Structure 1
């Protein structure tokens, strides 16, 4: 616990990725390009999924939801980071900080649930093809997608409320480019172990629950694919879920490293690099991964290009 005649903190200072001006200028250009391409790539994915009748399938419905989440997920952090790279004043109000914290985690949680639902969708398509259209009707798809969004935004309220109730009386510098629970807990004047444990368990339940669900779906998928007699049939079956599996491994690998590891001193530069990867780089890679490995999406893109 910190003691002394300290006043309540009104704002935080985000130290960002670097204090070197030349590095900041280079990072600004790099992240601006990446952010722009991310918005364009995910927007195109959504437009393709909704405009091309051949893509009016559950798989692409969930993919469009996933792309929509990615747009806002990266938007919760990148614009502020870009602004701080050009500004000498890198302040953020306490309200702004916790709003960023809430939306960042709400959208991240929603993404976890959508990835789990996409895994379940692939399980039904491969393991129960004859009943797939009935089990994944448009009504059921809409209900599942809505559930992901509702749970994502409700589930993240608890850790935000718990950390917001802690006293912040200085210092107010966050050695990060976003408001993350770890740095916020370190800045609190009161070391509240109950809050730390609750937030850790809360995050772990989200990650373990959604990842386990996805893992179980793929266990049944692999079991079914192995039983397919022809090699071409196995390749075709696996190709329908290879893109999703790639995204799952990348996203959950990074997030579980950050929020399911033992407490202690961790290299802050490594943490920043990992968070940059899954908040800035991954949202750009996802539409590329789904496009390059999906013939139906490629055909839809070719159709539009030929019209131009």
Structure 2
């Protein structure tokens, strides 16, 4: 691909140019997955907002996770879809580093939210009588707000540091501006001291939340094993199943993406992992929390019955006895 002089004011995203026969199928898959992701995360956010029984610390955090996933997907996928259908893969210099900033911020926010959710599960399992005082509304707001401050400062630091480097290349072998591939465009090779500093700082931001999650689950498992019956142990630990599933999927891809040996790096593998992180994990999260969670299912059931009562309760098509039976079923709560 010829790189014109105008790309010195921006970059060419190679994306999937090495697979021209697959551009249309890829567009269809990405578009379908993106729509599912948007609808799923938006729906679970609205469900949590509208249903009082979900106004608990855990589901407030789930709602924040859904918002972050919406943001994460919308940073990269629409631009990739436009490039696939139009063939225009140019991105401006400022657009690239703005995308890099937001991508780092919301990506790291995912990690911090999962760590806060682990603390929530630890409080619920290990300190059930003091749970509401430990995970109060004020505590949740402070934890989420401080996390946003940390990830924003971290992202701003790397976006500014990377954009201020002298760049010798203007072609990015990716479908968005990610930190590892953008750093490869630099004319200078970072010193060993700089590499160690970057590794330690990134390790703290990425692996710090993971360490916190692991400690939380060690304490949770220890508390669960003290329960007398296997049924009680299973019931208690099942409250963590949705969160644990997301943690395993998310961190297995993140660790392979950013901490794998450079000897096994390849642009094709990098693109596949990036698609999983930026599209398919955010798409799966709402389903994990809805299909594996009784409270969410109960809230959906209550919302559905409320909708039917509101829209059909006064209809002459309904017999009065049928309406009374549905109202009694709704008032008695989920079965």
TM range (shorter): over 0.9
Specify the alignment match of 2:234 in structure 1. 235
Specify the alignment match of 1:130 in structure 2. 129
What is the deviation of 1:177? 0.7
Structure 1 window deviating more from structure 2 (276-285 vs 155-164): it is 155-164
1:187 equivalent to 2:189? Answer no
What is the deviation of 1:22? 3.5
Q: How many angstroms apart in 2 are the aligned matches of 1:151 and 1:283?
A: 22
Q: How many angstroms apart in 1 are the aligned matches of 2:17 and 2:238?
A: 41
Q: How many angstroms apart in 2 are the aligned matches of 1:243 and 1:7?
A: 48
Q: How many angstroms apart in 1 are the aligned matches of 2:109 and 2:159?
A: 16
Flag structure 1 segments of 5+ consecutive residues without an equivalent: 1-5
What is the deviation of 1:202? 2.3
Query: For 1:58-207, what aligned pairs fall within 5 Å after superposition?
Result: 58-170=57-169, 172-193=170-191, 195-207=194-206
Q: Structure 1 residues 259 and 284, CA, compared in 2 at 3 Å: closer, same or farther?
A: same
Specify the alignment match of 1:304 in structure 2. 303
C-alpha contact 1:167 1:189 (8 A) present in aligned 2: yes
What is the deviation of 1:89? 2.2
1:46 equivalent to 2:49? Answer no
Q: How many angstroms apart in 2 are the aligned matches of 1:211 and 1:22?
A: 40
Q: TM-score, structure 2 length as denominator?
A: 0.86
Structure 1 window deviating more from structure 2 (97-106 vs 252-261): it is 252-261
What is the deviation of 1:169? 3.3
The number of residue pairs the alignment matches comes to 302
Q: Structure 1 residues 228 and 17, CA, compared in 2 at 3 Å: closer, same or farther?
A: farther
Q: Structure 1 residues 7 and 79, CA, compared in 2 at 3 Å: closer, same or farther?
A: closer
SS at match of 1:192: coil
Specify the alignment match of 1:3 in structure 2. none
C-alpha contact 1:45 1:287 (8 A) present in aligned 2: yes
SS at match of 1:13: strand
Q: How many angstroms apart in 2 are the aligned matches of 1:199 and 1:272?
A: 23
What is the deviation of 1:88? 2.1
1:282 equivalent to 2:268? Answer no
Deviations 1:9-59 (Å, cap 9, x if unpaired)? Answer: 211111113444441111111111111111111111111111111111100
What is the deviation of 1:100? 0.5
Q: TM-score, structure 1 length as denominator?
A: 0.93
Q: Structure 1 residues 195 and 36, CA, compared in 2 at 3 Å: closer, same or farther?
A: farther
Q: How many angstroms apart in 2 are the aligned matches of 1:7 and 1:305?
A: 54
Q: Structure 1 residues 133 and 155, CA, compared in 2 at 3 Å: closer, same or farther?
A: same
1:257 equivalent to 2:256? Answer yes
